[in-house]
Amino acid sequence: GENVEQHPSTLSVQEGDSAVIKCTYSDSASNYFPWYKQELGKGPQLIIDIRSNVGEKKDQRIAVTLNKTAKHFSLHITETQPEDSAVYFCAAPGRYNFNKFYFGSGTKLNVKP
């Protein structure tokens, strides 16, 4: 947590292609890493998360990988569809308070049909 950086800020892909969004965090004590999808005018929706004791987690077309040594984690979306278009946020908890999430600045994903 504490300092969470997210890249890229915008990502445009063709329908059917894969999309990858990366985040780095500064606090080595962080142990939980969620990803949220936010559509226009709506609140963030939790789409997948990963605990620090595993390196990868998959749920249908989405997956998250975690590299604790390098302190980065990534969201992978395969076979993208137009309805995947949204802003995606990563987050990590703080060292002194695991309830306090620090969010990345977001990635606007545009899937072109």
Q: Note the residue count of the chain.
A: 113
67 near another protein (CB under 8 A): no
Residue 21 in tokens: 């969004």
What pairs with residue 66 in β-bridges?
A: 73
- We find the least distance from the C-beta atom of residue 16 to another protein, in angstroms, to be 28
- We find the least distance from the C-beta atom of residue 21 to another protein, in angstroms, to be 13
Burial 95-111 (b: 16+ CB within 10 A, else e): eeeeeebbbbebbebeb
Of 78 and 108, nearer to another protein (C-beta) is 108
The stretch near another protein (CB under 8 A) out of 13-21, 51-59, 60-68, 69-77 is 51-59
Spatial CB neighbours of 96, under 8 Å, sequence gap ≥ 6: none
45 near another protein (CB under 8 A): yes
Q: Which of 15, 28, 51, 81 binds another protein (CB under 8 A)?
A: 51
CA 18/CA 12 separation, integer angstroms: 10
69 near another protein (CB under 8 A): no
Burial class from Cβ neighbours inside 10 Å (0-12, 13-18, 19+) for residue 53 reads: exposed
31 near another protein (CB under 8 A): yes
Residues that bind another protein (CB under 8 A): 4, 6, 31-32, 34, 36, 41-46, 49, 51-53, 89, 91, 93, 97-106
